[in-house]
């Protein structure tokens, strides 16, 4: 480069960088490359390059070189590792291990003792999830989506379907586990008892998972009496006649 700078660039003006690069390549091949040098035993640099060096060159990589950052994140119990500000899932049998993470400009690669564990497109924040990375029992749980819950509840009975519809009416994903839990109670207690427990929970005004599970555990789903309690209003809301009635009661008892 010093030779090119002194012999070619000096005293020349170029309109653009592209014109400068094109002129330099032309000068190297048509001028400097044809000069004979004593260091090459009288040979021209271009001829020597083509005869001895050209065949030894390796092809350029398909992708340009990129800078990468390395880290050693630990796989959490939820199958995620944190690389940068994002979370990436890895196969569940790596839980508890420290992996080698290569964060490139386009991809994130995760290695275990030099072997590639997972490759993800890089994201700046958020999470990348592959449900195949979870244990089989967790995958089955994730596959029980809201549509599956509604369909299964309809098969179990009208009261069950009403409870599940309430769970999934608002914030379906937030209440999905509760819906799955209610349906799963049919495996332990049977569809008939679950139907009865859901009906009783609706009658008492608390159709939640814990209530339904408690009814089944106590075997009270067949009871017909529904005890409801009406909260008493504070004394100052009863009117002036009743505001101090408790004092009159105390005086009557004292006599």
Question: 191-203 and 176-189 are packed helices; what angle lies between their axes, rounded to 10 degrees?
Answer: 130
Over residues 239-251, the mean pLDDT reads 53
Per DSSP, the residues of 189-237 read H-HHHHHHHHHHHHHTT---HHHHHHHHHHT-TT-------PPPPPGGG
State yes or no: pLDDT of 1 exceeds 50.
no
Kindly state the percentage of the chain with pLDDT values over 90.
46
Regarding pTM above 0.75, the answer is no
- Position 230 scores a pLDDT of 39
Which pLDDT band holds residue 191 (cuts at 50, 70, 90)?
very high
Q: Is the pLDDT of residue 84 over 80?
A: yes
Query: Per-residue pLDDT for 242 more than 90?
Result: no
At residue 173, the pLDDT reads 67
Condensed to tens digits (0 to 9), the pLDDT of residues 100-159 reads 999 999 999 999 999 999 999 999 999 999 988 988 767 666 667 888 899 899 999 999
Confidence grade of residue 228 (pLDDT, cut at 50, 70, 90): very low
Higher per-residue confidence, 90 vs 148: 90
Predicted pLDDT of residue 248: 55
Number of other residues whose CB lies within 10 A of the CB of residue 27: 16
């Amino acid at each position: 480069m010093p030779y090119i700078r002194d012999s070619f660039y000096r005293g020349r003006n170029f309109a653009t960088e592209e014109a400068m690069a094109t002129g330099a390549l032309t000068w190297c091949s048509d001028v400097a490359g044809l000069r004979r040098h004593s260091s090459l035993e009288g040979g021209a640099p271009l001829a020597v390059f083509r005869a001895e060096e050209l065949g030894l060159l390796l092809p350029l990589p398909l992708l340009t070189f990129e800078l990468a950052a390395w880290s050693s994140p630990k796989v959490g119990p939820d199958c995620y590792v944190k690389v940068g500000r994002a979370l990436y899932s890895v196969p569940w049998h790596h839980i508890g291990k420290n992996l080698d993470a290569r964060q490139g400009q386009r991809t994130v690669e995760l290695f275990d003792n030099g072997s590639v564990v997972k490759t993800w497109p890089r994201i700046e924040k958020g999470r990348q999830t592959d449900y195949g990375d979870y244990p089989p029992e967790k995958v089955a749980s994730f596959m029980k989506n809201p549509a599956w819950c509604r369909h299964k509840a309809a098969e179990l009975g009208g009261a069950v379907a009403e409870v599940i519809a309430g769970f999934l009416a608002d914030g379906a994903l937030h209440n999905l586990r509760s819906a799955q839990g209610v349906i799963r109670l049919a495996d332990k207690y049977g569809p008939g008892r679950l139907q009865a427990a859901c009906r009783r929970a609706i009658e008492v005004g608390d159709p939640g998972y814990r209530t339904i599970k408690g009814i089944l555990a106590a075997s009270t789903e067949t009871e017909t009496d529904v005890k409801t309690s009406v909260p008493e209003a504070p004394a100052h809301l009863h009117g002036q006649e009743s505001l101090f009635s408790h004092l009159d009661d105390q005086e009557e008892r004292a006599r």
